[in-house]
Amino acid sequence: MPQRCEQMPAVPPIAATGRTGAPRPAAGLAGAGGAGEAPRAGEAFTNETLARMSDLARKFLGIERREQVAPHLAPEDLAASLDLSLGEQGLPLDRVFALLGEVMAATPRTCTPAFFNQLYAGRDAVPTAAEMLTALMNTSMYTYRVAGPHALIEHELMRHMATKVGYAEGEGIICPGGSIANLCAMIIARNEARPGIQDEGHDGRPMVAYASEEAHYSLNKAAAMTGIGRRNLRAIPADARGRMVPDALRSAIAADRERGAEPFMIIAMAGTTVLGAFDPIDDLASIAEESGLWLHVDGALGGSFLVSERLQPLLRGSDRSNSFNWNPHKLMGVPLSCSPLLTREQGLLKKHFKEPADYLFQSDPEKFDHGTMSIQCGRRNDALKIWAAWKRHGDAGYARRVERLCDLVQYAADRVRHDPTFVLTAEPESVCLCFEVIGRQSEEICERLLLEQRAMVGHAVVRGRKVIRLACANPEVTEADVDRFFDHIRAIA
């Protein structure tokens, strides 16, 4: 087990070089293949490149084991410690790989058991390998012609995930992040509510969407970008655990209708960003059906709970939604980023995103030209890594993973409950635990933990109070790691 980081000796860069001194070749790797010369044009990826990569990766894993939290420097100090400038002449290969090593060594560690800062964490073997192989194949996912089996993989993956949501005839497309998936959902909902808007543009009559006050800020961006307008995205009050209050939603819809605005969309949160709370989706689905509104579920965080029988009830009613955003890069350990947007109805994605491009869409059955369903043209292959990971873990493995994360948070919550140093902000619903340290500023605690290289954790505001948010996204974190985290805070406090 890695030891306390503040006792560690300073860690040298992965491939030691001096900024001004002569580059030192990575042991046993420099030399052949023009390593000392910058290439004239392109440069082939060879077994030697692979060996250099694997050498850097091996060294990085070693650094992580020795130093769970990287030293935190001010941007100007970090910039001064690295050779970041770009110039007229290329550099020798040894030097470039040495620089890559230096950058890696200076990179905040997100894969160690001291990282609780974000809603993703850790490194799962198979999807990480698949991601590296994806770069090697350099596939664009717009057509079957160039994506081949990867187009079929995305199709199968979307089918499987849609089934988990409860969409018997659903489909989906992988977006470059949960924010874009939410944006695409709002575009579809807007277009469905206002046929013709794609050709004629927005006529100015106000359209209103509803999400809880705890919803993710990407919805504000979506409202700003779709012409809905931020002011027409209503923040509906949430209860003490962060779940939207359905009666407040009903009243808001009625009030908007009364003043002549056109409600068109409800967004239900399946796992809010700060508290990890789940809105009562079934109740919101009833309201959406009664009012004829589109229901989108933002399951960026909590979508993966659908694979667990134990946790699935938190998402009851998802099958009644129209669209669903699910980010396997959050709790499923798949490298950033991968964010399927799933729809209950087939053909909707094409209806709202297809544009003709005869120089591109020339494939066999158009069914697998996924570019016709996407907001993007060239699109990276985010399907392979999710699919490979799912092959490895199966639904059952993923159920164990997300259940483990929730158990860890409950363990952490117990520590908070039983220690008078801490105050629990809200009962945790899933993988986030918010709390305060009595008599101390949350921001200051987070900063000290980072500067002393003990842990990385973030803070947020809940009901006007700044709280520490512990996010558990790495199932390899142990109870002992959680204990160590709280011991560090007690030592600071």
Residues in contact with ligand PLP by CB under 6 A are: 119, 177-179, 182, 216, 218, 271, 273, 298, 300-301, 327, 337, 339
Q: Which is nearer to ligand PLP, 17 or 327 (CB)?
A: 327
Smallest distance from the beta carbon of 172 to ligand PLP, in angstroms?
A: 15
- Residue 316, H or E segment: none
Sheet of strand 422-424, all strands in order from the earlier edge strand to the far edge: 115-116, 456-462, 465-471, 432-437, 422-424
Q: Which residues pair with 461 in a beta bridge?
A: 466
Q: Which is nearer to ligand PLP, 270 or 307 (CB)?
A: 270
Distance from C-alpha of 130 to C-alpha of 413, rounded to nearest angstrom: 35
- Listed in sequence order, the DSSP H helices in 70-212 are 75-81, 93-105, 125-137, 144-147, 149-165, 178-193, 197-200
Smallest distance from the beta carbon of 177 to ligand PLP, in angstroms?
A: 3
Sign of the CA dihedral with 9 first, then 72, 13, and 471 last:
positive
Tokens, residue 192: 């469905």
Q: Which is nearer to ligand PLP, 147 or 180 (CB)?
A: 180
Q: Which is nearer to ligand PLP, 49 or 312 (CB)?
A: 312
Return the residue nearest ligand PLP (CB atom).
178
Q: Which is nearer to ligand PLP, 222 or 285 (CB)?
A: 222
323-326 and 294-299 strand pairing: parallel
Smallest distance from the beta carbon of 139 to ligand PLP, in angstroms?
A: 21
Q: Are 338 and 328 in contact (CB under 8 A)?
A: yes
Smallest distance from the beta carbon of 137 to ligand PLP, in angstroms?
A: 23
Smallest distance from the beta carbon of 417 to ligand PLP, in angstroms?
A: 25
- Residue 143, H or E segment: none
Distance from C-alpha of 485 to C-alpha of 480, rounded to nearest angstrom: 9
Smallest distance from the beta carbon of 179 to ligand PLP, in angstroms?
A: 3
Q: Which is nearer to ligand PLP, 13 or 302 (CB)?
A: 302
Q: Which is nearer to ligand PLP, 63 or 275 (CB)?
A: 275
Q: Which is nearer to ligand PLP, 385 or 415 (CB)?
A: 385
Smallest distance from the beta carbon of 329 to ligand PLP, in angstroms?
A: 7
Q: Are 446 and 118 in contact (CB under 8 A)?
A: no
Q: Which is nearer to ligand PLP, 267 or 348 (CB)?
A: 267
SS (H, E, C) 349-412: HHHHHCCCCCCCCCCCCHHHCHHHHCCCCCCCCCHHHHHHHHHHHHHHHHHHHHHHHHHHHHHH
Smallest distance from the beta carbon of 237 to ligand PLP, in angstroms?
A: 18
- C-alpha of 343 from chain center: 20
Please name the amino acid found at residue 336.
L
323-326 and 339-343 strand pairing: antiparallel
Distance from C-alpha of 90 to C-alpha of 29, rounded to nearest angstrom: 19
Smallest distance from the beta carbon of 383 to ligand PLP, in angstroms?
A: 16
